[in-house]
Amino acid sequence: MANRDLSSAEWLRKAQTYCAAAEHCKAEVMEKFRQWSTPEALIPSLIEQLYAQSFLDDDRYCRAFVHDKVLYQGWGRRKIEAALRQRNLPSAAINQGFAALSDDEYRDVLRRIIQKKKGATYEQMARFLLQRGFTYDDFREELSSR
């Protein structure tokens, strides 16, 4: 059976399986629907059902995204915020994602990055951290506390 021949319930099951495997946001699920050639007329109701059944949750997605990007990829607040905004997530959900992250965790990640790059010059370190999404103030505060 070709994808285009699936019923609404089958499309929903397929999307539920996709969402159950990992945390996804609406933008990612919409892109997946397009890749699957889901009929455009079905997408809004499928998205609505995924939200209603808690397969999609903007707050939960933002908390997971912030946590993972800081702790596993060493990203700073600015880069994470830009990535979440690019996914059209609401500001309230983005703020809640950052609120779930403790300042101590954030500072520990910043310290680890600085420690790994301790052979770099001040300018190189600042440029690297700015590219990672940390603010210059974060960097300065961390260096002055040493």
67 and 126 assigned to the same domain:
yes
> Is 139:126 a contact under the CB 8 Å cutoff?
yes
In a shared domain, residues 34 and 80: no
Contact assessment for residue 111 and residue 134, using Cβ atoms and an 8 Å cutoff:
no
Mark whether 82 and 24 lie in a shared domain: no
pLDDT at 21: 96
47 with 64, same domain: the answer is no
Please check whether residues 45 and 88 belong to one and the same domain.
no
Whether residue 75 is found in the same domain as residue 109: yes
- Looking at residue 4, its pLDDT comes to 64
CB 28: neighbour CB atoms within 10 A? 16
pLDDT given at position 2: 54
Residue pLDDT tens, the chain, 146 long:
456 678 899 999 999 999 999 999 999 999 999 999 999 999 999 999 999 999 999 999 999 999 999 999 999 999 999 999 999 999 999 999 999 999 999 999 999 999 998 899 989 999 999 999 999 999 888 887 76
Which of 56, 81, 97 is the last residue in one of the domains? Answer: 56
- pLDDT at position 66 is 98
- Structural domain of residue 9, as residue ranges? 3-56
State whether 51 and 63 are in the same domain.
no
Q: How far apart are CA 119 and CA 51, in angstroms?
A: 48
Q: Hey, what are 25's tokens?
A: 């946001």
* Domain edge (last residue) among 13, 28, 56: 56
pLDDT of residue 1: 46
12 and 43 co-located in one domain: yes
Check whether residue 45 and residue 112 sit in a common domain: no
Given a contact cutoff of 8 angstroms between Cβ atoms, the answer to whether 89 and 117 are in contact is no
Query: Residue 143 has what pLDDT?
Result: 80
Report which of 59, 83, 60, 146 is spatially closest to residue 110, judged by C-alpha positions: 146
